[in-house]
Amino acid sequence: MSWAIFNGGALATLYALDALADPKLAPPQAVVLISPMIGVTRFARFAGVAGWPALFPAFAKAAWLGIEPEYNPFKYNSFPVQAARESYALTRDVQRAVEAAQASGRLDRIAPILTFQSVVDFTVSTPAIVRALYDALPANGSEIVIYDVNRNANFDSLLRASAQSALTDLFAAPPRRYTTVVIANAPNGSSDAVARTVLAGARDETTTALASGFPPAVFSLSHIALPFPPDDPLYGIAPDRQEDFGVRLGTLALRGERSTLVVAPDAMLRLTSNPFYGDLADRIVRWVVALPKPPANAAAIPAAAKRPLPSAPPPPAMEFDAVP
């Protein structure tokens, strides 16, 4: 099974597509994607142009879409123009590979795909995941889980119209060849959450109550939140205090005057953990267990794919001066 997050999702999808045409590649039996980069905003297409002035020393900062303080111990906050350009090129490769596999009929053999995605995502395009990938998939057991915005009445007047309507036209009318699950508010208008499921090939929607709801101050999930549990020591909204990285990014609640901090206020508002992580983990296990087992006479993994990795060289000998 292949498991991938963010731009790794694009690479895993591209590998699964390449394996349909290349017998030297071992095809995955299933693919799990979290916030995959199947499409990005149109600005990324022209990001390289935005960086042209950086050829001149006086405009060196033009090579960056954003230069931020680096307070996160596991990722850079600053983002270069080149990375945006390469991200766009990768998504175009994925979309072309889907189109080519569909035209040749190879897409009928692709492994089932399970995806988790926030309906609002500042980094990648949620509609592209549905329209460029899922709408092309065969009826092979694929499933997509979408996290809606928190439609609790407390947030009605604060959400942009585009966020309010993000889910409206996301899916074609059922029946569809894949299962859709929408994690959303319960019908009572509270922060309680339900899973609204339409199975592949079905028209009717079933609703199941979830054990977790939307936390009081959370108006939506985010691109980076999905793979992290609420008790993550760095990103969690209820972090495990036994481990400390020097900062608790999931619990920051900064207050003060505007235009005072060197970081953008919206960066501090971005949710960094998933209040529905328990459901996500359970859903992955149930989905994988329910997958049909490969037949006993399935094609063997190509020898090239089974070749062991070369062993690492032994560490160099270390010499120490004698302690007097």
In order along its 324 residues, the chain shows pLDDT tens digits of 544 445 899 999 999 999 999 999 999 999 999 999 999 876 555 554 454 454 445 545 555 667 777 778 888 777 777 777 888 889 999 999 999 999 999 999 999 999 999 999 988 999 999 999 999 999 999 999 999 999 987 787 889 999 999 999 999 999 999 999 999 999 887 889 999 999 999 999 999 999 999 998 899 999 999 999 999 998 899 898 888 877 787 777 777 887 777 777 777 788 999 999 999 999 999 999 998 877 665 555 555 555 554 554 544 443 333 333
169-200 tens-digit pLDDT: 999 999 999 999 999 999 887 889 999 999 99
Instruction: For residue 229, give Cα distances in angstroms to 42, 116, 144, 275, 281.
Output: 31, 14, 20, 7, 10
Tokens of 315: 């560490």
Find the helix or strand (DSSP H, E) in which 207 lies.
Answer: strand 206-209
